[in-house]
């Protein structure tokens, strides 16, 4: 299947000289998380919503060019599998499609999800791939959501009341806060007034701007989640505490496939030094070997790396955020870590995975031992 068969042809764009409030209005209107930044038909880069909503920005005066990031591009003739790997390797939700130097479309993870059922032959359930997620309570405010999104590098935060999911706050929902801040500051006449009104947007209750949640049970067929993901940003999976399935999870499933060996993929290291790439590769290899000695049939390991820094700030240090997930016979395990030294972050994120796996493995072993002991007593 070619990119030209699934890409969106009518592309919504913005210019480098546009203000952020103009760009955000387009994102909100068309329900999209990123805009190609263009000059004529040439693509200069991408404006990504997640890089804006967690920061304190004057969207009325700040220009798009201050937040544009470089982007890979696709060709209409690229194979779909190559695009899936490109989306995973870059961490982007979408990539522009360019033909002979001109922007002709855009292909997103949602475009891939629409055809995923044709590419997969799986009997998996939602519980097999759902990931434990960070949540807020119904009494929490926007400030807490922003901290979770920034510190955990996530784009969606469920709102719960006990074991009930009330809704989800996504990055598109956060636009409402930036719009509210803009309106309040336009009414303010002093810096003190603006500061107090900024605090009022931070204290906005999460129930006032969350969206409805698409919810399935853990034993629901994965096909049902694929259907819902064509209309919703995420699917919440209930098993006591909520888990989440996103389009990125489906993409990872599409590239893992059935293999005799463990499928290992590290994404987001493009452009990094060969020493760092080799160091992370060595760390993941040792980790997989260690877990493999503990149990058979480890299925896959994904590690995604993201570089972060504050646009416009004086501090040029890069913060590395890593997310790792591994499929094992004991279930799916996920961990996050962040820091300034990437190799230390890699060791930490894999160490967290190892501790969680050992904890679960120990419980299973104790259960099996108790079960065996009970059977022996029965025959004495």
User: Which residues contact residue 296 at a Cβ distance below 8 angstroms, ignoring those fewer than 6 apart?
Assistant: 329
* CB count in 10 Å sphere of residue 208: 12
DSSP 233: S
DSSP letters along 239-273, please?
ESEEEEE-HHHHHHHHHH-S-SSPEEEEES-TTS-
pLDDT in tens, 70-122: 888 999 999 988 888 888 877 788 999 999 989 999 999 999 999 988 877 66
Q: Are 297 and 316 in contact (CB under 8 A)?
A: no
Tell me whether the CATH fold assigned to 3-114 matches the one assigned to 258-380: no
| CATH level 2 (architecture), domain 258-380 | 2-Layer Sandwich (3.30)
Tokens, residue 94: 């979408």
Helices (H) and strands (E) in the chain, counts: 11, 16
Q: What is the pTM of this model?
A: 0.72
Q: Is 141 exposed, middle or buried (0-12, 13-18, 19+ CB in 10 A)?
A: middle
Show pLDDT as tens, one digit a residue, over the chain (380 residues): 899 999 999 999 999 999 999 999 999 999 999 999 999 888 999 999 988 988 888 889 999 999 998 888 999 999 988 888 888 877 788 999 999 989 999 999 999 999 988 877 667 899 888 888 889 999 999 999 999 988 888 899 999 998 899 999 999 999 988 887 655 444 444 444 444 444 467 888 999 999 999 999 999 999 999 999 988 999 999 987 899 999 988 988 887 655 456 778 888 887 788 888 888 988 998 888 888 877 777 878 889 888 876 554 455 678 899 989 888 888 888 889 989 999 999 999 999 998 888 888 778 777 766 665 565 455 45
Residue 258: which of 104, 123, 370, 62 has the closest Cα? 123
Predicted confidence (pLDDT) per residue in 299-333, tens digit: 788 898 888 765 544 556 788 999 898 888 888 88
Q: What does the domain layout of the chain look like in residue ranges?
A: 3-114, 258-380
- Give the pair of three-digit tokens for residue 187: 């009414």
The SS3 call for residue 363 is: helix
Would you say 267 and 304 are in contact if contact means Cβ atoms under 8 Å apart? yes
With beta carbons less than 8 A apart as the criterion, state whether 306 and 320 touch: yes
Q: Is 109 helix (H, G, I), strand (E, B) or coil?
A: helix
For domain 3-114, give the CATH number. 3.10.580.10
Query: Any idea which residue has 């044709």 for tokens?
Result: 118
DSSP letter (8 states) at residue 155? S
Strands 34-39 and 263-267 come out as: unpaired
């Amino acid at each position: 299947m070619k990119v030209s068969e699934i890409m969106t042809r009518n592309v919504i764009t913005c210019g480098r000289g546009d203000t952020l409030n103009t760009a955000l209005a387009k994102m909100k209107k068309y329900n999209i998380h990123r805009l190609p930044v263009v000059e004529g038909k040439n693509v200069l880069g991408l404006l990504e919503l997640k890089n804006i909503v967690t920061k304190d920005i004057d969207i009325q005066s700040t220009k798009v060019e201050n937040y544009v990031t470089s982007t890979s591009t696709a060709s209409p003739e690229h194979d779909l599998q190559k695009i899936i790997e490109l989306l995973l390797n870059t961490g982007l939700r979408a990539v522009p499609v360019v033909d002979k130097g001109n922007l002709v479309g855009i292909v997103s993870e949602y475009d891939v999800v629409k055809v995923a059922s044709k590419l997969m032959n799986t009997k998996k359930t939602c519980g097999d791939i759902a990931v434990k997620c960070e949540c807020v309570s119904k009494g929490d405010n926007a400030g807490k959501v922003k901290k979770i999104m920034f510190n955990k590098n996530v784009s969606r935060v469920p709102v719960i009341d006990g074991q009930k999911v009330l809704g989800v706050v996504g990055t598109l929902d956060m636009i409402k806060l930036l719009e509210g801040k803009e309106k309040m500051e336009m009414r303010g006449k002093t810096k003190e007034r603006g500061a107090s009104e900024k605090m009022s947007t931070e204290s906005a209750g999460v129930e006032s701007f969350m969206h409805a949640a698409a919810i399935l049970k853990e034993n629901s067929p994965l096909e049902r989640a694929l259907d819902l993901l064509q209309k919703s940003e995420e699917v919440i999976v209930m098993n006591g505490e909520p888990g989440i399935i996103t389009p990125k999870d489906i993409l990872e499933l599409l590239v893992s496939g059935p293999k005799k060996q463990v499928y290992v993929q590290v994404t987001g290291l493009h452009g990094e030094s060969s020493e760092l790439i080799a160091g992370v590769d060595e760390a993941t290899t040792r980790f997989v070997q260690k877990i493999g000695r503990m149990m058979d049939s480890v299925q896959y390991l994904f590690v995604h790396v993201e570089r972060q820094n504050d646009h416009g700030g004086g501090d040029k240090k890069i913060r590395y955020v890593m997310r790792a997930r591994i499929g094992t016979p004991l279930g799916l395990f996920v961990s996050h870590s962040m820091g300034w030294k990437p190799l230390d972050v890699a060791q930490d994120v894999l160490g967290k995975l190892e501790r969680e796996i050992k904890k679960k493995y120990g419980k299973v072993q104790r259960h099996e031992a108790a079960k065996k002991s009970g059977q022996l007593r029965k025959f004495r």
